[in-house]
Amino acid sequence: MGTVAKVVSTVLVVFTLMAPYRARAGDLNPPPGPIMATHRTPISDASTPGDADSTFKITQAGSYYLRGNITGVAGEIGIEIAAAGVTLDLMGFQLLGGAGTFDGIRVSLPVQNVAIRNGAILGWGQDGVDCSAVQGGNILEGLRASGNTTDGIRSGVGSVVTGCTADNNGGDGFDVSNATTITGCAANLNTGNGFSSGNMAVITNCSALTNTLDGFATGNGATIVNCSARDNTENGFDLGLGCTVTSCSAYVNTLNGIDVGDGCTVSNCTARLNGARGIMAADAVTITGCTADVNVSDGIRVNTNSQVTNNTCNDNGNGLAEANAGIRLDGAGNRAEGNTLTSNNNVGIEVDAAGNLVIRNWCRGNTTPICDVGNSLIGPIVTTANIATEDSAQANFTN
């Protein structure tokens, strides 16, 4: 046999031997309906049957999803979760409550690692979503809770809440436990607080509008960044001890714009047109780089041992007959430095106690530039008349 014939024969043998092992194409005509991974379980009477007080109940760890809207039944929870390690995807569908219903979704045991995503919970007789029993690993994402009789969304310790809205609920929009992180959420027109949290909350890029109580109400050690509170019936921000508030806006709230407890830091914030004080603080507080503008009472008010530096306070106190101030130092041990105070009624800086330091401030158009109290250290007050002769580096300026 020639060389060419041998090669052709060898190739034919190889292809013959390989033929049984060639890959086969998949089915080109899959069954109708959405494509779902086989490890996901639909919420249904067959797979997640309810009990005496729930329409559907999840009792095993796993991934679950909705295939359509759920309508509530009086005396029942919409979906009850009674297991750890559950992920529930609402798939953009709605849980629609009604008179006499319980929670839309409730975690009923102190479990961990529950995630609920992507849907609306509307008009339930109790909370929209109640995950307050979760003891860690709770993720709530892309949910809308509206028109529920009590709170919109409740979460347990160490939760992460992202991209959710809560509006027109009969209690708080969001009521979350300690060490919860909330990002990119909105709370509007709720009968309670917009956001209510335990200790050590971290809240960023959120807004609270027209809530009946506070826009944001937190426990101790909270961090609030890039948030906005407008037109809330009580305070815009009402925070506990040791909190940090940065780059936030409090606008047209009925009481104080920002109200913080002892040991807090408020920086680069704006408080405007609030019905009481722009920024109200207790003891050992740092307030820096803020703007307090056209608030009915004092622009900024602190008690003792606080630092108030490089703020702008304009046109505060004009809504009341009593004398108010751009900055008011209630107690001793405060330092007011580098502030700009214009057109406040009655005083640029009101010093109500001995033992304070007031230096390097600029006052203009206030009824009284600085109210002096004996035994406080107040830098020289420079006016047009003595500016040529007064050269102290610690001077306060007025015109």
Q: What angle do CA 387, 391, 396 make, to 5 degrees?
A: 70
φ, ψ of residue 325 to 5 degrees: the values are -145, 155
Which pLDDT does position 26 carry in this prediction?
A: 36
Residue 340 has pLDDT above 70, yes or no: yes
Residue 76 has pLDDT above 50, yes or no: yes
For residues 165-172, average pLDDT: 98
Residue 151 has pLDDT above 90, yes or no: yes
For residues 6-21, average pLDDT: 40
Residue 270 has pLDDT above 60, yes or no: yes
Q: Is the dihedral of CA 202, 208, 211, 213 positive or negative?
A: positive
User: Closest Cα to residue 289, out of 332, 240, 339, 254?
Assistant: 339
- Confidence label for 167 from pLDDT (cuts 50, 70 and 90): very high
Query: What percent of the chain is modeled with pLDDT above 70?
Result: 87
Query: Which pTM value belongs to this model?
Result: 0.87
Among 89-98, 342-351, 380-389, which range has the highest average pLDDT? 89-98
Reported as a single tens digit per residue, the pLDDT across 211-231 is: 999 999 999 999 999 999 999
Residue 149 has pLDDT above 60, yes or no: yes
For residues 297-314, average pLDDT: 97
For residues 288-315, average pLDDT: 97
Residue 31 has pLDDT above 90, yes or no: no
Q: Which two tokens stand for residue 172?
A: 């708080």
Q: Which two tokens stand for residue 345?
A: 């009624």
User: Closest Cα to residue 178, out of 237, 112, 222, 225?
Assistant: 222
β partners of residue 131: 155
Query: Rounded CA gap, 396 and 327, in Å?
Result: 14
Which helix or strand (DSSP H or E) is residue 6 part of?
helix 3-18
Which pLDDT does position 347 carry in this prediction?
A: 87
Average pLDDT, the chain: 89
Residue 3 has pLDDT above 60, yes or no: no
Q: Which domains does the chain have, with CATH numbers?
A: 55-213 (2.160.20.10), 241-399 (2.160.20.10)
Reported as a single tens digit per residue, the pLDDT across 246-258 is: 999 999 999 999 9
Residue 367 burial by CB count (10 A; 0-12/13-18/19+): exposed, middle or buried? middle
Q: Could you give the count of Cα atoms lying within 13 Å of 92 in the half-sphere of its Cβ?
A: 0
For residues 84-100, average pLDDT: 98
User: Closest Cα to residue 295, out of 363, 246, 344, 340?
Assistant: 344
Among the ranges given (34-38, 277-281, 365-369), the one the predictor scored with the smallest mean pLDDT: 34-38
Among the ranges given (154-168, 176-190, 200-214, 362-376), the one the predictor scored with the smallest mean pLDDT: 362-376
- Residue owning tokens 């015109």: 399
Which pLDDT does position 19 carry in this prediction?
A: 43
Q: Which two tokens stand for residue 292?
A: 């307090």
Q: Which residue has the higher pLDDT, 3 or 164?
A: 164
- Confidence label for 33 from pLDDT (cuts 50, 70 and 90): low
Among the ranges given (36-40, 54-58, 367-371), the one the predictor scored with the smallest mean pLDDT: 36-40
Q: Which two tokens stand for residue 310?
A: 């490089």
φ, ψ of residue 132 to 5 degrees: the values are -65, -20
Which pLDDT does position 77 carry in this prediction?
A: 98
- Residue owning tokens 């622009």: 299
- Confidence label for 40 from pLDDT (cuts 50, 70 and 90): very high
| Amino acid identity, position 53 | D
